[in-house]
A and B are shown apart, each in its own frame.
Chain A
Amino acid sequence: MEESDSIDMYLKGELEPDQLDDFQKRLATDEQLKQKLSIRKLVIAGISQAYADNLKYKLIEFDRSLEPKKRMQFSWKMAAVVTFFVSAGAVLYFSIQKPNPLEFDIAEPGLPNTMGINSDVALNNAMNTFKTGDFHMSGKQFKDLLDSNPVNDTLLYFSGICDFRTSQTESAIKKWIYIDGTSEFSIKANYRLAIAYWLNGDKIKARELLNGIINSNDEMLQTESKAALDAIK
């Protein structure tokens, strides 16, 4: 059995009594094995934390999806009348209007607050303000944080959104282009960058970035990018 498998089985409590005995004896004397075990524990804790963060993120999104549902609990007759007029209006509107890049700005629920003792209070505050939709104030808070940590991808990403949503498109572009390709925000930042370039009239750069996203593995952004590309044409 590979050593890597033994470590997994040890941690999952799946070793047979004699295998467990051997493993524990080795662990008492083998420093390398001890080191590998502690790294594996870290890996498992990291994956678990990433999953929990993702679950929280999905709950925030889900929470938002509940609001329209609740507002829909009124007269269906009224809803039908409203739908008719909205649809008719929409058909008329889209037949005379060019697509507006701002309509392609995707929702960003913000990150969950960190709950540890070492949580970053200033970042949590900025994130909370962001979640309220006050992009002027949260933009200022993110910018203050960026001054002391100018290459932080989280700050660049969220500060860029605040700029974009307060009509400071150039400033948003300058932040998003600095987000590294390995960042977890990379694809989303590229999408936003494309929309910002489009808003500024640079359709070539916008198309280039959107085509890149279509080849990524983010299904949601692939769909958004296809829609944006269709609209740019």
Chain B
Amino acid sequence: MNSKTNILNLETSAIIEAIKAGSEKILFQLYEVYRDEFVSWAIRNHQVSIEEAKDVFQESIVGLYKNVKSGKADTLESSVKTYLFGIGKNIIINALKRKGVEEKIMQNLEYQHDNGINDFYNQEHLINLVKRLYRAMGSPCKEILEMYYEKGFDMESVASNIGYKNADVAKKKKYECLKSLEDRINMSRLKDILN
């Protein structure tokens, strides 16, 4: 059975549940089944290039994943395809708006003194900092933290996936990894302030 048959046979709620349970495979199937249709639609309606349209559709899949994880897609009544295309449309429209905002910022630098934008900038900067420090961590810390915080595994599942004897061992290791990451964040933030 190919990807298209698989996906088309699934109810929206089953797709959402599979994503929630951490299935990446279903995200790739959605990408394969709907990519060409989205690309044609985006080129026809928004005059973007093929590469830009693909990039937007990849972002749409990531957006779908994020919305499912945060519970925003729990009450989804439309089909996943309609939802995905909707996310893609929003990304294109926002990108066009942002292009306008960036041009305004370049024209009027006072805009940058807006506290809202500064807060947003600082928050993004901090998240990027954490992301860098997290990526630099070795195995199994990265895997443990990802399973617990991103995939929502309990400590028993983390232990069995990593190959630990029991949940207590996994919990102890998770604590050590987290402490090491948080210490590094504190050090880096201190460096930032000193600089």
The interface of chain A, by Cβ under 8 A from chain B, is 2, 4, 36, 39-40, 42-53, 55-56, 58-60, 62-63, 66, 112-113, 115-118, 121, 128, 131-132, 182-184, 217
**Does the CB pair A50–B135 fall under 8 Å?**
yes
Partner of A42 from the list B69, B130, B138 (CB cut-off 8 Å) is: B130
The answer on a CB contact under 8 Å between B51 and A132 is: yes
A112 and B130 contacting across the interface, CB-CB below 8 Å: no
Does the CB pair B182–A43 fall under 8 Å? yes
List the interface of chain B (C-beta within 8 A of A): 24, 27-28, 31-32, 35, 51, 54-55, 58-59, 61-62, 65-66, 69, 91, 95, 98, 101-102, 117, 120-121, 124-136, 138-139, 145-146, 149-150, 175, 178-179, 181-182, 185-186
For residue B55, which residues in chain A have a CB less than 8 angstroms away from its CB?
A: 112-113
Contact check, A121 vs B102: say whether CB atoms are below 8 A apart. yes
Distance between Cα atoms of A132 and B126 in the complex (Å): 31
User: Are A56 and B62 touching (Cβ within 8 A)?
Assistant: yes
Interface secondary structure of A, over-half rule: helix
A117 touches B98 (CB 8 A): yes
* Residue in chain A with minimal CB distance to B125: A118
Q: Could you tell me the distance in whole angstroms from the C-beta of A169 to the nearest C-beta in chain B?
A: 28
Please measure, in the bound complex, the distance between the C-alpha atom of A2 and the C-alpha atom of B178, giving whole angstroms: 13
- Residues of chain B within 8 A of A182, CB atoms compared: 136
On whether the beta carbons of B61 and A59 are closer than 8 Å, the reply is: yes
Closest to A50 in B: B131
**B106 CB, nearest partner CB in chain A, Å:** 10
Instruction: Please give the distance in Å from A53's CB to the nearest CB on chain B.
Output: 7
Contact among B31, B120, B145 for A63, CB-based, below 8 A: B31
In the complex, the number of residue pairs spanning A and B with C-beta atoms less than 8 Å apart equals 110
Chain B's nearest CB lies how many Å from the CB of A54? 9
Across the interface, which residues of B come within 8 angstroms of A52, CB to CB?
62, 65-66
User: Known pairs A2-B175, A4-B175. 13 more at Cβ < 8 A?
Assistant: A43-B130, A43-B134, A46-B130, A47-B145, A47-B149, A59-B28, A60-B58, A112-B55, A115-B91, A117-B121, A118-B125, A183-B136, A217-B138
The 3 A-B pairs of least Cβ separation, nearest first, read A46-B130, A59-B58, A46-B131
Q: Which of B24, B101, B126, B132 contacts A55 (CB 8 A)?
A: B24
Given contacts A4-B175, A48-B150, A60-B58, contact A43 B136 (CB under 8 A): no
